[in-house]
Each structure stands twice: as structure tokens, then as C-alpha cells.
Amino acid sequence: MSTELAKDQKAVGQAQSPTGIALLAYLLLGICFGITLTKSEVLSWFRIQEMFRFQSPRMYEIIASAVVVAAASVALIKRLGLKTVSGEPIAIPPKNLGLGIRYAVGGTIFGLGWALTGACPGPLFALVGNGVTVMIVAIGSALAGTWLYGLLRPRLPH
């Protein structure tokens, strides 16, 4: 096992098992996020097309303001040294840059899929809820893609 994989494995299994009430909170936050994806229309193939054709600033305004709000919140959390509701210190593990190949190549492959389906993973789930049930097939395909990555991972440059 490569050290990078070991590190990744550690990061993914590091967190404590959440309590029942926290699990309920994640479900409720997910519901809020599904509503947000729908009401913001970012789950729409049409909006994604409009974005990649640079024909409306809307998607860029949404992404940029989301990043600004998230960044300000993260900065504030770090600065104030806020803890989680159960008193753990909040820490964001830095991503391992490595050669950067995985981000450039993986990112480009993801982008091809993003424009073809018109949806990234969050919206895929939200679209199923919205009645675009054929996206169940897209989720199944995405699972197959993830599995193939797991198979090829030792041979891919990262």
C-alpha cells in the first residue's frame, strides 16, 4: 500500500462515529441542501449549458458567492477557534497536492461528465427526488466509474 493511500485511508476512517442526534442533523441538512439545489436551479441541465456557454452570469454569481461565504465562515471558525457542538476542535485536513496530476486529469474527466449529464453528484440525487428518475442510471454509472478508479488506482499517476 502506498503511503499516500495509507494517509487517505487514515483520513477517511479518522472521524469518530456520530451519535444518533448528529445523524439526524446530517439528514436534515441534506434535506435543506436538496431544497437549495432545486430552488437555486443549479441542478438544471439548462443552467449548466448556459454556464458553459457564458450566456448568463447567474451560475458564476452563485458559485462565487458560495465560495466567499464558505471561505469567510472557515476563516472565522479558525480565527475564533470554534469547536463542534460536541466540543471537538474543528480541523480541515489539507489535501495532498502530490504531482497535481490527479486534480488536473481527474478534474477534466469529471468536467466532461458534468457537462454531458448536466449534473454533478449532489444534483444527481436531487434530480431523482425531483422526478427525473432516469438519473438513477447516471448514479449507477457513477458508481461503476468510481469502482473502476478503485481498480486502476495503483496504476494511475497522482
Partner 1 sequence: MVASASGPWPWYVAGPAIGLFVPALLIVGNRLFGVSSNLRHLCSAVLPSKLDYFRYDWKRAGLWNLLFAAGILVGGFLAAHWGTSHDVAISEQTRLALTRLGIHDFSGLAPREVFTWPALLTLKGFVSVVLGGFLVGFGAAYAGGCTSGHAISGLADLQLSSLIAVVGFFAGGLLATHFILPLIL
Number of residues that bind partner 1 (CB under 8 A): 124
Residue from 7, 41, 80, 155 in contact with partner 1 (CB under 8 A): 41
Stretch (H or E) spanning 135? helix 135-152
The answer to whether residue 109 forms part of the interface with partner 1 (CB under 8 A) is: yes
Q: Is 58 exposed, middle or buried (0-12, 13-18, 19+ CB in 10 A)?
A: middle
Stretch (H or E) spanning 138? helix 135-152
Which residue in this structure is represented by grid cell 481498480? 151
- Where are any strands of DSSP class E within 25-101? none
Residue from 3, 62, 80, 155 in contact with partner 1 (CB under 8 A): 62
Residue from 3, 7, 79, 126 in contact with partner 1 (CB under 8 A): 126
The distance of closest approach from Cβ of residue 59 to partner 1 in the complex, given in angstroms and rounded to an integer, is 8
Closest to 12 in 3D by CA, of 93, 84, 103: 93
The answer to whether residue 112 forms part of the interface with partner 1 (CB under 8 A) is: yes
The distance of closest approach from Cβ of residue 6 to partner 1 in the complex, given in angstroms and rounded to an integer, is 9
The answer to whether residue 7 forms part of the interface with partner 1 (CB under 8 A) is: no
The answer to whether residue 20 forms part of the interface with partner 1 (CB under 8 A) is: no
Residues, the chain: 158
The answer to whether residue 4 forms part of the interface with partner 1 (CB under 8 A) is: no
